[in-house]
């Protein structure tokens, strides 16, 4: 597993395992995470909203992979910002995961009117030493500008929906300029976005004797993005990290960039409601 250095000096393994709807129950989540850890994944991405922090913590404990080899991200949900309290939500995630500390804590979605105040609370949690880095998710450039206008700590990461049909090059460039690593959620598209059947991606895959998924994930790595493919299948989990023995040409990267059509599988960050 390769790593990327975050803006506070800590390193994060890439790719990571996405875990939204990883299993239908705790047993399936534990099974999928154990398989991933056995396959070599060292970065697990969850969120309080996914309701799987408890089984993920269990899988980690059962795996006996040393804690310091692992990188675990979880996220703060919008209703916790508006109603239940940020500190309390963080404590709950800590309890459910039960892994001693959280590597990366993210604001899951920008909450209108709360971006700056939320970030100040995140900075307090960071200063308390219970997380190794803090960042955001689903923040567009204007959300980041609002946040950075009050920030003492620059977010280490911005995790957004990103794939060849939603490239968001402007946001990528802005984040690079601010030293914020961009993570891609749903990097392989979804049933709504049939990316894996795209003819250009299939053709590039054939050229390299790789799957379409591997082409997309390799495109992420070569663009400096950190992809978070989700798979509960042991074979596909292995496929999604077998990315380090081939590379795409500059021309192939540009061709993939040009597939962009601003198509989303999830909600637009300006339209999320809590």
Tell me if 184 contacts ligand A2P by CB under 6 A. Answer: no
For residue 11, give the H/E element and its range. Answer: strand 11-14
Among 1, 7, 10, 20, binds ligand A2P (CB under 6 A): 20
Tell whether residue 201 is a contact of ligand A2P (CB under 6 A).
no
236 binds ligand A2P (CB under 6 A): yes
Q: Catalytic: 50?
A: yes
Q: 151: Cβ–Cβ under 8 A, 6 or more apart, which residues?
A: 119, 123
Element (H, E) at 173: helix 169-177
Estimate the share of the chain in helix, then strand, then coil, as percent rounded to the nearest 5: 45, 15, 40
Contact characters 253-272, ligand A2P, x per CB under 6 A = --------------------
Give the total of residues touching ligand A2P (CB under 6 A): 16
Residue of the chain from 56, 231, 241, 252 that contacts ligand A2P (CB under 6 A): 231
> Residue 240 CB, nearest distance to ligand A2P (Å)?
5
Considering 41, 50, 126, 165, which one is annotated as catalytic?
50
Q: Which of 240, 248, 252, 259 binds ligand A2P (CB under 6 A)?
A: 240
16 close to 241: Cβ distance less than 8 angstroms: no
**Cα–Cα nearest to 177, from 110, 216, 224:** 224
Position 141 contacts ligand A2P (CB under 6 A): no
Phi, psi for residue 105 in degrees, rounded to 5: -115, 125
Instruction: Name residues contacting ligand A2P, limited to 59-118 (CB under 6 A).
Output: none
Does position 213 interact with ligand A2P (CB under 6 A)? The reply is: yes
d(CA 193, CA 4): 28
Least Cα distance to 228 among 45, 41, 21 occurs for 45
Question: Taking CB under 6 A as the rule, does residue 188 contact ligand A2P?
Answer: yes
Q: CA nearest 74: which of 137, 128, 165, 124?
A: 137
Catalytic residues: 50
Contact set with ligand A2P (CB under 6 A): 18, 20, 186, 188, 190, 196, 211, 213, 229-233, 236, 239-240
């Amino acid at each position: 597993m390769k790593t990327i250095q975050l803006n506070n000096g800590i390193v994060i393994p890439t790719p990571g395992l996405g875990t939204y709807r990883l299993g239908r129950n705790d047993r399936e989540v534990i099974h999928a995470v154990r398989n991933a850890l056995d396959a070599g994944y060292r970065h697990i991405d969850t969120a309080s909203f996914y309701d799987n922090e408890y089984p993920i913590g269990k899988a980690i404990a059962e795996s006996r992979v040393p804690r310091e080899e692992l990188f675990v991200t979880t996220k703060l949900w919008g209703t916790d910002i508006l109603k239940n309290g940020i500190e309390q939500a963080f404590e709950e995630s800590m309890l459910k995961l039960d892994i001693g500390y959280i590597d990366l804590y993210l604001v899951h979605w920008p909450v209108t009117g709360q971006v700056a105040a939320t970030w100040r609370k995140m900075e307090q949690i960071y200063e308390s030493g219970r997380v190794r880095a803090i960042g955001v998710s689903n923040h567009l450039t204007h959300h980041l500008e609002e946040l950075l206008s009050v920030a003492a700590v620059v977010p280490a990461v911005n995790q957004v929906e990103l794939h060849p049909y939603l490239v968001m090059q402007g946001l990528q460039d802005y984040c690079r300029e601010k030293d914020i690593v961009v993570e891609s959620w749903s990097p392989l598209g979804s049933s709504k976005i049939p990316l894996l059947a795209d003819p250009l991606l299939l053709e590039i895959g054939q050229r390299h004797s790789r799957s379409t998924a591997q082409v997309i994930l390799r495109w992420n790595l070569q663009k400096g993005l950190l992809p978070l493919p989700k798979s509960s299948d042991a074979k596909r989990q292995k496929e999604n990290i077998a990315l380090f023995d081939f590379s795409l040409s500059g021309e192939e990267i540009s061709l993939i960039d040009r597939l962009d059509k601003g198509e989303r599988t999830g909600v637009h960050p300006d339209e999320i409601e809590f």
